[in-house]
């Protein structure tokens, strides 16, 4: 059972989490609980680090931030003990959870389940601070923001858990953002692939690399609400165990995109690499890419999208590289947004793309860029059209 920051935001909520665990413990389940830092704590610590230095030591950053989850694990353990449940916190170094890679963004390498199993056998609830590990050099490490999901999945795998429950502040995963479309419905079952597409499109329920790890190890995940734990939530499992009666599972949208177009790029081998390698080197994530091959000249136009925050940086870089790349003009537009339909069902149903484009065209929504994967079709539109596009597609694919 993993509880995120809003689920343990204050003492009352920690008591509520202890009640959920106590209730779950009634059937004598062996329970391992992973907790995040109390909401706000991590941001406060990050703020402190920024007041010290813009280049705050990565090693010390991990020592600093890991304290947040440590506090929650102690508070929750004591709260369980207060409710007559045997419990104890187990910090990363006590297990140990060994990580590899760089500080601030490590990956779990190995996890010694022996000590945990020992306490589970003695009927303890073991409470583990998420997000933290220790490096091979015996220093405190952390596994990136949202890393408590990764801790939960790694523990579920190492302990061969029957299930992994992710408790959050929503009732599960929805067919689309309820704030945009009031006809959004909770999804009962969704595949790993679909949730990965949804997450990368802005439906932030679980960290993507954790879903991937769950998929690779076939760990069934239940996304549930901390505030309505009795409700079924959403089950994430492999595609072949879901019977699809709908072509599309959900509609996702993001509104932090920016479009960049290079006009008159010389159409020669290696030009794409010349454009995108420097962006990659600067950790700028490029999303949709379209290249129009021009029949009549040796020149082409290349359009791609980046996060809106990265637009100015990207523009500057490409302007500096104008000679190396070779292009005539550079256009940018930060008033764009991406709308996507996601569904494993579309693999076996032809005509999905046509249906999507037709529905949008009937509402006079202009499509700027298109990109597709096996189970997803995304279009870039003017950001003033996002709400209408989401509602139109939600209705057109009978998700209302």
Contact residues toward its own copies (CB under 8 A) are: 11, 14-15, 45, 48-49, 51-53, 55-57, 59-61, 63-64, 66-67, 70-71, 73-75, 77-79, 81-82, 88-89, 91, 93-94, 138-140
Decide whether 118 or 228 has the Cβ nearer to its own copies: 118
CB contact burial 258-278 (16+ within 10 A = b; e otherwise): bbbbbebbeeeeebeebbeeb
Alpha carbon 339 to its chain's center: 17
Residues 6+ apart with CB under 8 A from 206: 149, 166, 195, 199, 221, 223, 236
Task: Give whichever of 93 and 222 is closer to its own copies, judged by the CB atom.
Answer: 93
Write down the least CB distance from residue 115 to its own copies, Å.
9
What SS3 state is found at 44?
A: helix
Residue 362 tokens, joined: 């009937």
Would you give the end-to-end CA distance of the chain in angstroms?
Answer: 31
Minimum Å gap between C-beta 26 and its own copies is 21
Q: Output the smallest distance, CB 60 to its own copies, in A.
A: 4
Least Å distance, CB 136 to its own copies, is 13
Closest CB to its own copies among residues 49, 382: 49
Closer residue to its own copies, CB minimum distance, 151 or 300: 151
d(CA 250, CA 264): 37
Q: Say if CB 223 and CB 236 are below 8 A apart.
A: yes
Report d(CA 222, CA 225) in Å as an integer: 10
Residue 86 or 255: the one with the smaller Cβ distance to its own copies is 86
If you count them, how many residues does the chain have?
Answer: 400
Look up residue 345 and give its DSSP letter: G
| Shortest separation between residue 134's beta carbon and its own copies, angstroms | 9
Rounded least distance, CB 142 to its own copies, Å: 12
d(CA 212, CA 315): 32
Q: For the CB of residue 153, give the shortest distance to its own copies in the complex, in Å.
A: 24
> From the CB of 38, what's the least distance to its own copies, in Å?
9
The smaller minimum CB distance to its own copies, of residues 77 and 234, is found at 77
State in angstroms the smallest separation of the CB of 287 from its own copies.
33
Say how far apart CA 255 and CA 241 lie, in whole Å: 33
What is the spatial distance between Cα 390 and Cα 379, in angstroms, rounded to a whole number?
11
Residue 91: C-alpha distances to residues 6, 31, 38, 126 (Å): 21, 16, 16, 10
**Gap between the Cα atoms of 210 and 149, Å rounded:** 6
Provide, rounded to whole angstroms, the least separation between the CB of residue 138 and its own copies: 6
**Closer to its own copies by Cβ: residue 57 or 382:** 57
CB 347 within 8 A of CB 279: no
Closest CB to its own copies among residues 129, 233? 129
* DSSP secondary structure of 265-333: EE--TTHHHHHHHHHHHTTPPEEEEEEEPPSSSSEEEEEEEEEGGGHHHHHHHHHHTHHHH--SEEEEE
Least distance (Å) from its own copies to the CB of residue 225? 23
Of residues 66 and 210, the one with the C-beta less far from its own copies: 66
Nearest CB to its own copies, comparing residues 15 and 299: 15
Nearest to 306 by CA among 262, 270, 263: 262
In the bound state with its own copies, the residue whose beta carbon lies nearer, of 81 and 272, is: 81
């Amino acid at each position: 059972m993993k509880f995120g920051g809003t689920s343990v935001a204050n003492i009352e909520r920690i008591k509520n989490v202890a009640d959920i665990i106590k209730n779950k413990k009634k059937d004598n389940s062996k329970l391992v609980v992973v907790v995040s830092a109390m909401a706000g704590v991590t941001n406060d610590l990050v703020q402190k680090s920024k007041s010290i230095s813009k280049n705050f030591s990565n090693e010390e950053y991990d020592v600093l931030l890991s304290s947040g989850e440590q506090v929650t694990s102690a508070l929750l353990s004591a709260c369980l003990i207060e409710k007559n449940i045997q419990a104890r916190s187990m910090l990363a170094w006590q297990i140990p959870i060994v990580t590899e890679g760089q500080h601030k963004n490590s990956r779990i390498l190995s996890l010694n389940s022996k000590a945990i199993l020992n306490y589970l056998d003695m009927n303890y609830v073991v409470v583990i601070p998420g997000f933290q590990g220790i490096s091979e050099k015996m220093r405190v490490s952390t596994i990136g923001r949202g890393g408590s999901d990764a801790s939960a999945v790694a523990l579920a795998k190492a302990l061969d858990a029957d299930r992994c429950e992710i408790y959050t502040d929503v009732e599960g995963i929805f067919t689309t953002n309820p704030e945009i479309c009031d006809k959004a419905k909770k999804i009962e079952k969704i595949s790993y692939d679909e949730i990965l597409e949804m997450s990368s499109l802005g439906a932030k329920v679980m960290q993507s690399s954790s879903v991937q790890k769950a998929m690779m190890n076939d760990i069934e995940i239940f996304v549930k609400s901390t505030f309505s734990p009795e409700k079924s939530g959403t089950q994430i499992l492999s595609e072949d165990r879901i019977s699809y009666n709908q072509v599309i599972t959900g509609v996702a949208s993001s509104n932090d995109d920016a479009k960049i177009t290079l006009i008159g790029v010389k159409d020669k081998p290696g030009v794409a690499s010349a454009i995108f390698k420097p962006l990659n080197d600067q950790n700028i994530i490029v999303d949709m890419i379209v290249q129009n091959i021009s029949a009549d000249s040796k020149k082409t136009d290349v359009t791609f999208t980046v996060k809106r925050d990265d637009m100015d940086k990207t523009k500057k870089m490409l302007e500096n590289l104008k000679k190396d790349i070779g292009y005539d003009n550079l256009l940018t537009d930060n008033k764009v947004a991406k709308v996507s339909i996601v569904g494993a069902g579309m693999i076996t149903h032809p005509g999905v793309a046509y249906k999507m484009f037709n529905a949008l065209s009937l509402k006079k929504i202009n499509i700027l860029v298109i990109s597709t994967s096996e189970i997803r079709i995304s279009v870039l539109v003017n950001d003033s059209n996002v709400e209408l596009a989401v509602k139109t597609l939600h209705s057109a694919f009978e998700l209302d």
